[in-house]
Structure 1
Amino acid sequence: MTDNELDLNGHWTIDPGHSRIGFSARHAMISTVRGSFNDVTGDVRVDVDDLDGSTAQVTLKAASVDTRNGQRDDHLRSPDFFDVERFPDITFVSTNIEEIRERAYIVSGDLTIRDVTKQITIPLELGGVMVDSFGAVRAGFEGSRRVNRRDYGLEWNMPLDKGGVLVSDKIDLEFEISLVKQDQ
Structure 2
Amino acid sequence: MTTFKDLTPGTWTVDAAHSQFGFVARHLMVSKVRGKFNDFDADVKVGEDLESSSISATVQMVSVDTLQEQRDGHLRTNDFFDVENYPTMTFSSTKITEDSIEGDLTIKDVTKPVTFDLEFGGVISDPTMGTRAGFEATTVINRKDFNVKFNAPVEGGGAVVSDKITIVVEIELVKA
TM-score (norm 1): 0.89
Provide the secondary structure at the position in 1 that maps to 2:11.
strand
What value does the CA root-mean-square deviation take over the aligned residues?
A: 1.6
Matches within 5 A, 1:10-21: 10-21=10-21
**Residue 152 of structure 2 is aligned to residue 153 of structure 1:** no
Instruction: Measure, in 2, the Cα distance between the counterparts of 1:165 and 1:27.
Output: 8
Provide the secondary structure at the position in 2 that maps to 1:150.
helix
Identity percentage of aligned residues = 50
Task: Give the aligned partner of residue 170 of structure 1.
Answer: 164
Opposite residue 60 of structure 2, the aligned amino acid is: K
**Residue 56 of structure 2 is aligned to residue 53 of structure 1:** no
CA contact (8 A) 1:130 1:137 kept: yes
Instruction: Measure, in 2, the Cα distance between the counterparts of 1:74 and 1:181.
Output: 36
CA contact (8 A) 1:6 1:130 kept: no
CA contact (8 A) 1:158 1:165 kept: yes
In the alignment, structure 1 segments of 5+ residues that lack a partner are 100-104
Opposite residue 11 of structure 1, the aligned amino acid is: T
Shift of residue 8, structure 1, vs aligned partner: 4.1
**Residue 42 of structure 2 is aligned to residue 42 of structure 1:** yes
Task: Give the aligned partner of residue 112 of structure 2.
Answer: 118
Task: Give the aligned partner of residue 68 of structure 2.
Answer: 69
Opposite residue 39 of structure 1, the aligned amino acid is: D
Residue correspondences, number = 175
Matches within 5 A, 1:72-151: 72-99=71-98, 105-132=99-126, 134-151=128-145
Opposite residue 16 of structure 1, the aligned amino acid is: A
- Classify 1:78/1:9 alpha carbon distance in 2 versus 1 (closer, same or farther; 3 Å): same
**Residue 29 of structure 2 is aligned to residue 29 of structure 1:** yes
Shift of residue 7, structure 1, vs aligned partner: 2.5
Runs of 4+ with deviation above 3 angstroms? 2-6
Provide the secondary structure at the position in 2 that maps to 1:159.
coil
CA shift digits 1:80-136 (9 cap, x unpaired): 11100011110001111123xxxxx31111100011000111111110111246231
CA contact (8 A) 1:131 1:138 kept: yes
In the alignment, structure 2 segments of 5+ residues that lack a partner are none
Shift of residue 178, structure 1, vs aligned partner: 0.6
TM-score (norm 2): 0.93
